[in-house]
Structure 1
Amino acid sequence: MEKKKLVLGVIGSDCHAVGNKILDYALSEAGFDVVNIGVLSPQEDFINAAKETSADVIIVSSLYGHGELDCQGMREKCDEAGLEGILLYVGGNIVVGKQNWENVHARFTSMGFDRIYPPGTSVDTTIADLKKDLKLK
């Protein structure tokens, strides 16, 4: 498989590191070149890492429920930084409380995210979507 570069991190004031490390390991084992920017990461860190490494995808994780606030305007900032068309994935516990998933998905889609994953999504799902979206075998 052709190595594609992914920027992975936990956005905002979220310090949940274990899931981030599991994703890093699983994505690396699946053949991706993972640039892990860690936890407590602002949008700018994701964007700067993607620019510096010519990444194909930005994967945003959020577990503390404030992902919706932390992700607002990210697509526009990517475009302004010259990253038009970069794939944006987001997943985890991305909103506060029990909300209708279809509504949550629609809000993140309108924010420009290409893939939006609910809590409990298997990393295998993300890997399959990456291979499909990046046209890998």
Structure 2
Amino acid sequence: MVLDTMSQTVVLGVIGSDAHVVGITILEQAFSAAGFDVVNLGVQTSQEEFAEAAKAHDASAVLVSSLYGHAEQDCQGFHSVLEDAGVDAVSYIGGNLAVGQDDFEQTRQTFRELGFDRVFDSETDPEDAIAALREDLQISPTESEPATITS
């Protein structure tokens, strides 16, 4: 089954006490330009706010950003909160997820174990995240859009 991008809503925000807004602003613009309906929750977003917004907007994906290095603490129990709210959405996290992060593969594994479908570092091009989401939601890109995925 191939879905239409225009009918897909993504909820986006910066989790926990993090106040870094630039990354989600870039992601909001990129995902909107790619045809997704984006709900930007802004910075310092709680797990419950992500869950409430995802449920209210029937989101296909929840995109979590964190740049201050404490995402592991902020995301403990995150998927239980989503599940308790009845949210069945793809979940991504990206950014500078761990203080002193030197082995991103270990960081990726940590967040996969926390329940995230995909984990991106702070150097990821938004187009790579968009391509990954299209793949995960089984959305066919238009002929003018790249279909490669590097995550």
1:2 & 1:58 partners in 2: Cα distance? 15
For the pair 1:131 / 2:139, whether they are aligned, the reply is no
For the pair 1:24 / 2:28, whether they are aligned, the reply is yes
Q: Which one of 99, 102, 108 corresponds to residue 102 of structure 2? A: 99
Q: Which one of 57, 65, 72 corresponds to residue 69 of structure 2? A: 65
Output the TM-score relative to the length of structure 1. Answer: 0.95
1:2 & 1:42 partners in 2: Cα distance? 27
For the pair 1:50 / 2:54, whether they are aligned, the reply is yes
Shift of 1:114: 0.1
What SS does structure 1 have at the residue aligned with 2:5? Answer: coil
1:98 & 1:80 partners in 2: Cα distance? 31
Deviates more, 1:102-111 or 1:24-33: 102-111
2:104 & 2:17 partners in 1: Cα distance? 23
Shift of 1:19: 1.4
Output the TM-score relative to the length of structure 2. Answer: 0.87
1:91 partner amino acid = G
Q: Which one of 84, 88, 92 corresponds to residue 91 of structure 2? A: 88
Q: Which has more radius of gyration?
A: 2
1:71 & 1:128 partners in 2: Cα distance? 24
% of aligned pairs identical? 46
The 1:56–1:107 alpha-carbon spacing in structure 2 relative to 1, beyond 3 Å, is: same
1:56 & 1:136 partners in 2: Cα distance? 12
Q: Count matched residues.
A: 136
**RMSD, aligned α-carbons:** 1.0
The gaps in structure 1 that reach 5 residues or longer are none
